[in-house]
Amino acid sequence: MHKFADFVIDNPRLVTFFIFILVIAAVFPASKIRTDFDLENFYPKTDPTVQSYQLLEKEFGRDDNVIMVGLSSDSLFTVKELLELKTIIDSLKVIPNISDIQSIWSANEMVNLNGILKFDPFLDADSLQSDLLNIKKRITTDSFTEGFLIDKQGTTTAFFLEVDEENNTYETRNAIIKQLQATLSNYPSKDFKITGIPYFRNQYVNILNEEVIFYISFSSVLIILMLWYLYRSISGVFIPMLIVWFTVLFTVAAITLTGGYLEIMSSTIAPILLCVGVADSIHMMSKFDDAIENGMKQRKAIIEMLLTLGSATFLTSITTAIGFGTLITSTVVPMKRFGIYTAVGVLIAYTITILFLPAILKITNIRKVFKEKGGKLYPWIGGKLLKVSSFNRKHYKKISLIALSTCVLIGTGIYKLQVNGKVFDDVSRDSELIKDSDFFTNNLAPAFPLEFVINTEEPEGITDPDFIQRVESLQQHLLSYPEIHRATSFTTLLKELHQVMSPDQADINALPDDQNLIAQYLLLLEITDNDILQNVTDFDYQKLRIAAQTEDAGSQSINEIRNSIEKYLARNFTGEEVTITGSTILSANLVNKMVYSLASSIGLAFICISILMAFLFKDAKMVIISLIPNIMPLVLIAGIMGLLGIDIKPSTAVIFTIAFGIAVDDTIHYLARFRIELKRGLNIQDALEITTQKTGRAIIITSIILLLGFGTLITSEFTSTTLMGILVSSTIFFAVIADLVVLPSLFYWLKPTLKDIVKKAD
């Protein structure tokens, strides 16, 4: 490290020039960062959940490529309203990458014309006036239109824009949504409601993009103001800010260059790095100022800063990177990416700090970052920490016991924690997205698909009357769940066809009980031009699809419903293979995977840090002492979440990783400085006092900055982001108490020998 320090000090302009060249090179790839939100991409390609979904996609197409537009009108079934609706729909057909639009104007009814099956449109512009009441009655009682395209009262309707599967990208959807909104804006008297998974994804991403830019900017301004208040010097403000801006820029460029993109988790990387980068630079600038105060010249002070805190900051960066890097073991792809990119970003922050900070200090010939005549907070913190150190020494047993008792008491709330997440979980219940989604749930059917693919294992297996009856019973069973509003399948089609072609028999048995008759009906459907069969069965009639629509009930309810349905299937479909899938299942499975992956990753991180502490201090007690301050904030936050009824879900689960990274960073900074003071020959008491005062001051300042950075998230439109702001801010507070009060008290109480370090000092 000494040779490295000499090189940077002797070549500061070369180092700075090199960094600025990299900054210029990183601007272009960073500007090309893209954002997306695709549930299927959250899983590895080999995951059974994805393979089940791909089975549905292969046989029947995707269930997540439809944008839904709805409206209500008491005068819907008037000639004027219906023709105006047709005009709107026709104008939307010219939008590129829309493969089809389903509406009451495209809906067909089955007609028996002298024994010949025909599909005629319900609505015909030329005959609307003469038969409107009869049309309304037929279309509002049809199994395929009622609850889908129109409600029972005939006052609410919807049309569905199907996005071309080959071009179902964020950019394409954005263009479609803009043209859709522009067209609908030409009808200000109508209150259109828009929902559907493609629409939600893009609106979510658009809000996310705006928030990322806003919070980076807002946090930067607050941090700048705080740094100015603390240091009252331009260098004390702009050196840390340049370091964090460079860090974020390089990390975003790395994400782009490796084919990554921003989504629900990686969007939090920038605020994390903003805080971590500032923390590294503040710790090192504090050490530089301490060296100057001790009478060192600038060159020697820079070398002292690099020799002592360069290695200490490297240690904290490595441990923080390990904390995030353990997420690489996750089976959830975005969580794995989040862990990798955040770990890389932390190491980038360290690299820039040890290169840029000493170089810029040398170039600008700064004698001291903190101005004596500046802010009063900086020296005030140092004075208070001396009193804290004295308090710790006198009352270490009480402090330790109170801390442990508090953890146990609040930690009981962990038993009340529940794993539960919704598709729309991150969005405020008062937002337009949720209100529009609720409109469909309350008036037609929810926008969340729950799909079943039943494989009879033999061609024409779906023509077996016994099988048909069992499928019909399954549909009725599905509708017995309050969360499931609608279910259609081949049996729905068959019942309607039976009623049209054989009304007398249908009055006795709603479904045909003769296999030959079912085969004849299939032949009738084949020779028509209608493609309705391909939505409910495959080409050789071996597989059958049931399409259900469910509320956004949460992963806990969906998993309970699925488990109950699986028991029903095990009793009634012993000879068939049944696959339960759909976007709703993708979301429900994802919640559990993310939470349990995160728990195992944090456990792995604790093991890694325990090994590191054992290696550094060669004392078993030190492992306990180092882990308790890191565990405490996590236990307290988990307990508070349980007591307040805040569920564990992807957006709140990631809080624990962030909290762990912050807690570890502070603890390692403290222990690394403590180890340095021991090596200088100080006893444990003196080493603790100096560490608490000097490193404690930097910890408090960085914690204040972290609070400002994460505190801004409380104003977010996303409920999950607001919770993240509140809970991470609380964790930061708990971590400061744990590191500056509990950690020193544990030293006094457990009295580790630390013989190896003391011997080296001697």
The DSSP bridge pattern shows strands 543-550 and 484-488 to be antiparallel
Q: What is the mean pLDDT of residues 260-270?
A: 74
For residue 367, tell me if it sits in a domain. Answer: yes
One domain for residues 600 and 642: yes
Helical (H) or strand (E) element with 101: strand 98-102
- The rounded distance, in Å, linking the Cα atoms of 53 and 131 is 43
Q: What is the mean pLDDT of residues 297-313?
A: 83
For residue 261, tell me if it sits in a domain. Answer: yes
| Range of the structural domain that residue 166 is part of | 63-201
Beta carbons of 727 and 655 less than 8 angstroms apart: yes
More confident position, 190 or 370: 190
Long-range contacts of 82-85 (CB under 8 A, 24+ apart): 82/123, 82/128, 83/125, 83/128, 84/187, 85/157, 85/159
CA dihedral defined by 568, 573, 576, 580, rounded to 10 degrees?
Answer: -20
One domain for residues 386 and 367: no
Beta carbons of 270 and 248 less than 8 angstroms apart: yes
One domain for residues 602 and 663: yes
For residue 247, tell me if it sits in a domain. Answer: yes
Q: Which of 546, 575, 604 is the last residue of a domain?
A: 575
For residue 452, tell me if it sits in a domain. Answer: no
Lowest mean pLDDT across 37-46, 219-228, 666-675: 37-46
Q: Which CATH number is 180's domain given?
A: 3.30.70.1320
pLDDT at residue 208, as a whole number: 74
* Tens digit of each residue's pLDDT (9 = 90 or more) over 231-247: 777 888 888 889 988 99
Confidence category of residue 565, pLDDT binned at 50, 70, 90: very high
**Distance between the two ends of the chain, CA-based, in angstroms?**
23
Helices then strands, counting H and E runs in the chain, come out as 27, 10
pLDDT at residue 583, as a whole number: 82
pLDDT at residue 375, as a whole number: 57
Long-range contacts of 613-616 (CB under 8 A, 24+ apart): 613/671, 616/315, 616/671, 616/675
Token pair 């979904």 in the structure block, residue = 53
Helical (H) or strand (E) element with 383: helix 377-394
**Residue 634 φ/ψ region, left for φ over 0, alpha for ψ in the -120 to 50 degree band, beta for the rest:** alpha
User: Which residues are within 8 A (CB) of 303 and not within 5 positions of it... i.e. 6 or more apart?
Assistant: 2, 5, 6, 9
Q: Would you say residue 127 has pLDDT above 70?
A: yes
One domain for residues 166 and 289: no
Q: Would you say residue 383 has pLDDT above 50?
A: yes
Instruction: Please tell me which of 50-54, 177-181, 324-328, 443-447 the model is most confident about, judged by mean pLDDT.
Output: 177-181
Q: Which CATH number is 675's domain given?
A: 1.20.1640.10
pLDDT at residue 39, as a whole number: 62
- The rounded distance, in Å, linking the Cα atoms of 382 and 369 is 16
Tally of CB atoms within 10 A around 639 = 22
pLDDT at residue 762, as a whole number: 45
Which of 672, 740, 41, 58 lies closest to 307, judged by CA? Answer: 672
One domain for residues 296 and 152: no
- The rounded distance, in Å, linking the Cα atoms of 318 and 350 is 9
The rounded percent of the chain whose pLDDT value lies above 90 is 31
For residue 41, tell me if it sits in a domain. Answer: no
* Burial degree of 294 (CB within 10 A; 0-12, 13-18, 19+): exposed
Tally of CB atoms within 10 A around 142 = 20
Beta carbons of 479 and 488 less than 8 angstroms apart: no
pTM of the complete model beyond 0.85: no
For residue 57, tell me if it sits in a domain. Answer: no
User: Which residues are within 8 A (CB) of 424 and not within 5 positions of it... i.e. 6 or more apart?
Assistant: 200, 433, 434, 437, 552
**Average pLDDT in the chain:** 85
Instruction: Please tell me which of 57-61, 246-250, 587-591, 608-612 the model is most confident about, judged by mean pLDDT.
Output: 246-250
One domain for residues 758 and 617: yes
One domain for residues 402 and 358: no
* Tens digit of each residue's pLDDT (9 = 90 or more) over 384-399: 888 998 998 999 899 9
Number of domains in the chain: 4
One domain for residues 18 and 85: no
Q: CA–CA distance from 426 to each of 14, 49, 121, 207, 723 (Å)?
A: 46, 23, 41, 11, 10
- The rounded distance, in Å, linking the Cα atoms of 232 and 584 is 54
For residue 113, tell me if it sits in a domain. Answer: yes
- The rounded distance, in Å, linking the Cα atoms of 83 and 91 is 12
Confidence category of residue 607, pLDDT binned at 50, 70, 90: confident
Q: At residue 533, what is the residue type?
A: L
One domain for residues 756 and 616: yes
Q: Which of 346, 374, 402 is the last residue of a domain?
A: 374
Q: Would you say residue 372 has pLDDT above 70?
A: no
* Tens digit of each residue's pLDDT (9 = 90 or more) over 633-659: 889 999 999 999 888 877 777 778 777
- The rounded distance, in Å, linking the Cα atoms of 365 and 351 is 21
The token pair at 454 is 């039943």
Confidence category of residue 36, pLDDT binned at 50, 70, 90: low
One domain for residues 177 and 73: yes
Beta carbons of 506 and 497 less than 8 angstroms apart: no
Task: Give rounded-to-5 percent helix, strand, coil for the chain.
Answer: 70, 10, 25
* Tens digit of each residue's pLDDT (9 = 90 or more) over 717-735: 777 778 888 888 888 899 8
One domain for residues 70 and 184: yes
Lowest mean pLDDT across 24-33, 561-570, 597-606: 597-606
Q: Would you say residue 760 has pLDDT above 60?
A: no
Residue 465 has, within 13 A of its CA and on its CB side, a CA count of 10
- The rounded distance, in Å, linking the Cα atoms of 174 and 670 is 49
pLDDT at residue 761, as a whole number: 46
- The rounded distance, in Å, linking the Cα atoms of 307 and 294 is 16
For residue 453, tell me if it sits in a domain. Answer: no
Q: What is the mean pLDDT of residues 485-493?
A: 91
Beta carbons of 417 and 648 less than 8 angstroms apart: yes
* Tens digit of each residue's pLDDT (9 = 90 or more) over 428-471: 777 888 889 889 989 988 888 899 999 999 999 999 999 999 99
More confident position, 251 or 677: 251
- Using the 8-state DSSP alphabet, how is residue 715 labeled? G
One domain for residues 170 and 289: no
